[in-house]
Structure 1
Amino acid sequence: MVMAYLINSLSESGVTQVATCKTSAEVWHTLEVLYGTLTRSRIQQVNSELLSLSKGSLSVSKYIHRAKALAQTLASAGKPIDDDDLVMWILRGLGSELHMCNQI
């Protein structure tokens, strides 16, 4: 019954990937291997975006919203980042603007 549910929830291309599986565990493992790679790739991409994030011409509000959205994406993929680390990345992305504020 579990195997039927899994197969019925797949797209046509997904069904072809698990067509030779004999058990629901085998179907699940095959799907995990297929789609887990995409998740790891996406996590690396989001991490890279967060590392290279800078305020640039964005408003402060949009900049912080973008950083929070990237952090939320990581959290939903099972790789949350610590709030302190997020603050560090946000401050790092301010660059020279942060230094100008410190001089005032």
Structure 2
Amino acid sequence: MGQIIGPQTSHAAWNALENILSASSKARIMQLSLAFETTRKGSLTMMEYILKLKTLSDNLATIGKPVVENDQIF
């Protein structure tokens, strides 16, 4: 949090905070995208498998990176 204490204006503080959070958001997007792309049914029931993919897709949509329909179908 030291990065947002130094700025002189609220605008600069918001920009500093955005920079801090965007790095973690990018990491989260990569983590969720990889999980979505590599999820396999394996020993999961069909309902568990679909629910897992839907949850990952919903989480990506929530953070502003929705999974396109073609990728959901594939």
Fold match by TM threshold 0.5: yes
Q: Distance between the aligned counterparts of 2:27 and 2:41, measured in 1?
A: 25
What corresponds to 1:30 in structure 2?
16
Query: Which ranges in structure 2 are unaligned for 5 or more consecutive residues?
Result: none
Q: Distance between the aligned counterparts of 1:35 and 1:81, measured in 2?
A: 21
Query: Which ranges in structure 1 are unaligned for 5 or more consecutive residues?
Result: 1-13, 89-104
Q: TM-score, normalization: structure 1?
A: 0.67
Larger radius of gyration between Structure 1 and Structure 2: 1
What corresponds to 2:64 in structure 1?
78
What corresponds to 1:52 in structure 2?
38
Q: CA deviation at 1:82?
A: 1.9
Percent identity (aligned): 31
**Matching of residue 67 in structure 1 with residue 50 in structure 2:** no
One-letter amino acid of the counterpart of residue 64, structure 2: G
Structure 1 moving runs of 4+ over 6 Å: none
Q: TM-score, normalization: structure 2?
A: 0.92
One-letter amino acid of the counterpart of residue 50, structure 2: I
Q: How many equivalent pairs are there?
A: 74
The one-character-per-residue Cα deviations of 1:35-63 (angstroms, maximum 9, x if unpaired) are 10000011001111111110000010010
Partner secondary structure for residue 20 of structure 1: coil
